[in-house]
Amino acid sequence: MSFSQPTGGVSLSLEDKVVLVTGGSRGIGAATVRLLRQAGARVVFSYRSAETQAQELVKACGGEDVCRAVKQELATVEDGQALVAAAVGVFGRLDCVVVNHGIWPPHDQPIATMSAAQWRGTLGVNLDSVFGLVQAAVAVMLAQARVPAAEDGTSNASRGHVVLIASTAAQRGEAFHADYAASKGALISLTKSLSSELAPQGILCNCVAPGWVRTEMSEATLSDPVASKKALGLIPLGRPAEPEEIAGPVVFLCTKWAGFVSGEVFNVNGGAVLVG
């Protein structure tokens, strides 16, 4: 078997696709929005308070004809449903949803003294709103016609992709952050349940589980010499990830090259958690 010399490389094209990214104004979300635009997708992303950063990102990604920021609190089921409705209202359809938003209370909180308000608040943002998002997004995708299978046989006909962002804390737990670990562990279980239910209907659901990533949310820990040494000591690569290193696997899971990937937990953690 012989192959002709490649000229343009392998394309991770998302041309003609519409993608919703939650928590897209900063960190992993912003890196994902940028990479999705480079792949040709039109993108709607949500933000809660970082309006200046959101508008700067829209401008950097080509303007509102191809990229739109939506201000939306995400703390309840109804919030998630409202965001999906807003996203569909922008570009008229929805092909992929990347559920990236979440909170991680940075202070250590023993379970014996954790307040019910903290527990409910974390699960409201990290889990309840995700249910609303996924429920509404799946309903939209099921109502859309399937995209024809690629002629080169690299994908089956599909209706859409759901990518949830979990965490290594979901897999090994995290002392003094039981609320966060429990909420992210639920996303892994949700991924598997959605895969079993939705793959036969042409919707692929997968999960990306990052470890420590250099973002605003982790800045306090990674800038503290003691806490940083403890965190990075668990990573064989010896450093945190950059947001773009998480965005790459996320975008891959939205493309035709992931057309036979469903229910997978994609670990991107520098070797800190080994499962399989």
Task: Please state, in angstroms and rounded to a whole number, the distance separating the CA atoms of residues 47 and 63.
Answer: 16
Count the neighbouring beta carbons within 10 Å of the beta carbon of residue 18.
22
Closest CA to 159 of 142, 173, 175: 142
Q: Which member of 46, 158, 167, 218 is catalytic?
A: 167
**In this structure, is the dihedral angle defined by the CA atoms of residues 109, 189, 248 and 147, taken in order, positive or negative?**
negative
- 47 catalytic residue (yes or no): no
- 180 catalytic residue (yes or no): yes
Tokens (6 digits) for 270: 């520098």
For the chain, first and last CA: distance in Å?
33
CB under 8 A, 24+ apart: contacts of 7-10: 10/257
Q: Which member of 47, 129, 184, 256 is catalytic?
A: 184
Residue 47: half-sphere exposure toward Cβ, Cα within 13 Å:
21
- 184 catalytic residue (yes or no): yes
Task: Please state, in angstroms and rounded to a whole number, the distance separating the CA atoms of residues 217 and 275.
Answer: 25
CB 11 within 8 Å of CB 223:
no
CB 167 within 8 Å of CB 94:
no
Tokens (6 digits) for 16: 């003609």
CA dihedral 73, 74, 79, 81 (to 10 degrees): 130
Backbone angles phi, psi at 205, to 5 degrees: -120, 125
Q: Which member of 46, 47, 129, 180 is catalytic?
A: 180
Burial zone of 15 (CB within 10 Å; 0-12 exposed, 13-18 middle, 19+ buried)? exposed
Q: Which residues are catalytic?
A: 167, 180, 184
